[in-house]
Amino acid sequence: MNNSASIKKVLVVDDEPDTLELVKLVLESGGFETVLAANGMEALDKVGKTRPDLVLLDIMMPDMDGWDVFRKIKEKYPTLPIAILTAKAQNIDKLLGLHVLKADDYITKPFGKNELISKVKKLTSAGNKK
């Protein structure tokens, strides 16, 4: 495909298969390519192999929590945008994500289709310098 370079790739990391499928459907309807990872180790492997333009990262996962995954990705790819996509809606979690770890966005579940597409478009067009 000649225009594949213009299609933005999003790595979605969540241990819930239903959430992965929902986010995939929403993003693909918005014109994005998706790569899915069901846990932290898989995410770390896929971020290197697929070179996404954005990572949507759940926090509550069994083998390695999202905060650890976030830190490890940022160590290797400091300019890769990462948005937290989580059910953790408490202010302390948002504070940690946005201000301490410097996540690019904090999206709480449940989210609206238009909200998610809008945020992903903004994050993937914000001068991504991978």
- The domain that contains 30 carries what CATH number? 3.40.50.2300
Spatial distance between the Cα atoms of 8 and 82, rounded to a whole number of angstroms:
14
Give the chain's domain count. Answer: 1
What proportion of the chain, given as a percentage, has pLDDT over 70?
A: 82
Residue 6 has what DSSP assignment?
G
pLDDT of residue 123: 95
Cβ atoms 74, 82 nearer than 8 A: yes
Is 4 within the bounds of a domain? no
pTM (predicted TM-score): 0.86
Average pLDDT score, the chain: 87
Q: How many residues does the chain have?
A: 130
Summarize pLDDT for 2-52 with one digit per residue, the tens: 345 589 999 999 999 999 999 999 999 999 999 999 999 999 999 999 999
Binning pLDDT at 50, 70 and 90, where does residue 107 land? confident
Average the pLDDT over each of 23-37, 89-103, 114-128 and give the range with the smallest value.
89-103
Residue range(s) defining the domain that contains residue 38:
9-124
> C-alpha angle 83/45/67, rounded to 5°?
40
Is 119 within the bounds of a domain? yes
Cβ atoms 9, 35 nearer than 8 A: yes
Is 40 within the bounds of a domain? yes
Is 80 within the bounds of a domain? yes
103 has a pLDDT exceeding 90: no
Is 72 within the bounds of a domain? yes
101 has a pLDDT exceeding 80: no
